[in-house]
Amino acid sequence: MNIVKILFYTVGFLTSSFFLPLHIVYTTEFYSNSQDAANLIIERDTIHDTMREHETQIEALNQRLLNLKMDQEWVRLKIEDIKSQHRIIPQALIESRSNLLNKQKVIEEEKKRLMEQVRIHKNAIKKKNLIINKRMPGMSRQGGITTDDLFSDVNKKEPHLISMSDSGAEERLKKEIKALGLEEWVELIDDPSGVRLDFYMPILFSSGKSKVNASYNDFLSKLAKLTKPYDVKVHVKGYTDSLKSKSISNIELGAKRAAKIVNELIKYGMHPKVFEVSSRGEYRKGSHVNKKNHAFNRNVELTIYFQRS
C-alpha cells in the first residue's frame, strides 16, 4: 500500500512539474509578445505623427513656391516692360530675379528631402504593421489583454464629424463657444456652405517674426477643441506690414506666419487636411489696412467654415 501511495504521489509530482513550466513559459511569452506589440504600435504612431508634420511642411513649401512663382512673374513682366522702353535694366532687378531663382531651388531641395522622408516613414509604418499583424493571431485573451485592447485606436472607425445639417448642430456649436469662453473672440455668420466663424481680432506678430506669441496658446487650444468634432474647412491667411526685409520677402513671411498657426492647431489635435493656407504679404483690401499702426497689419486671419453635408 505504501508503495502504491509513493508511486501515485511521484507520478502526480512529475506531471505537475511538467505542465507548470509550460504554463509559465506560455504566459510569459504572451506578455512579452503583447508588450512588443504595444511598443511597436507606439513606435509606428510616432513615425506617423512625424510623417504628418512633414506633409504639413510640404504643403507650406508648395504655397511658398507658388508665391515665389508669382514674384518671378512680376519681375519678368517688369523687365519686359523696361526692355520695351529701351531702358537699361536696373542691377537690383536682375539680382532680385536671381535671388528668387535661388530661393526656389532651396525650397525645392527641401521639399524633395521632406518627400523622401515621407516615403521612408511610409515604408517603416508598412513594415511595422506587417510585424504587428504577424503577432496578432497568437494573442488570445490572457490577463485581461486582447488584440482589440492593443489596437483599439488603430481599428476604430473614423469618428463621425458633425455637419451643420445634423439636428441641433448649430445650437450645440453656439453653446460650446460660450462654454469655452470664445464668444468675445468669434462671431457666427450664416454662409451658403453652412456656418462661417469669423474672428473679431486677428493673431498679431512681432515685426519680421513668425513665432506665435505664447499668449495665444490658450485661445488656439480652445479653438482646436471647439472645431475638432465638426466637418470644417479652415482658411488661414498670413499678412505683413509694408516694411521690407533683406532676408525674406513679405509674401514668404506671411506664409510662414500662416504655417505656424496651422502647426499650432495641428499640435492641439486638428487634422492637416482641413487647412487652406495662403499669404498676401503686405497686400490686402484697403479697409483692412491700418496705416497708423504697423503692428495691426502683421497678422494671421482665420476663417472657419462649418460645412453642411
The share of the chain scoring above pLDDT 70, in percent, equals 76
Which of the listed ranges 226-230, 251-255, 281-285, 293-297 does the model predict with the highest average pLDDT?
A: 226-230
Which superfamily, per CATH, for 160-309? OmpA-like domain (3.30.1330.60)
What's the pLDDT score for residue 219?
Answer: 94
* Predicted confidence (pLDDT) at residue 23 exceeds the cutoff of 50: no
What's the pLDDT score for residue 147?
Answer: 39
Fold of 1-156: Helix Hairpins (1.10.287)
What's the pLDDT score for residue 129?
Answer: 80
- The three-state (H, E, C) secondary structure of the chain, written as one string: CHHHHHHHHHHHHHHHHHHHHHHHHHHHHHHHHHHHHHHHHHHHHHHHHHHHHHHHHHHHHHHHHHHHHHHHHHHHHHHHHHHHCCCCCCHHHHHHHHHHHHHHHHHHHHHHHHHHHHHHHHHHHHHHHHHHHHHCCCCCCECCECHHHHCHHHHCCCCCCECCCCCCHHHHHHHHHHHCCCCCCEEEEEECCEEEEEECCCEECCCCCCCCCHHHHHHHHHHHHHHCCECEEEEEEEECCCCCCCCCCHHHHHHHHHHHHHHHHHHCCCCHHHEEEEEEECCCCHHHCCCCCHHHHCEEEEEEEEECC
Instruction: List the chain domain ranges.
Output: 1-156, 160-309
Which of the listed ranges 106-115, 193-202, 240-249 does the model predict with the highest average pLDDT?
A: 106-115
What's the pLDDT score for residue 144?
Answer: 35
What's the pLDDT score for residue 7?
Answer: 47
How far the first Cα of the chain sits from its last, in Å, is 85
Which of the listed ranges 26-40, 56-70, 124-138, 257-271 does the model predict with the highest average pLDDT?
A: 257-271
What's the pLDDT score for residue 175?
Answer: 94
* Predicted confidence (pLDDT) at residue 131 exceeds the cutoff of 60: yes
What's the pLDDT score for residue 76?
Answer: 83
* Predicted confidence (pLDDT) at residue 65 exceeds the cutoff of 90: no
11-22 confidence digits (pLDDT tens): 454 444 444 444
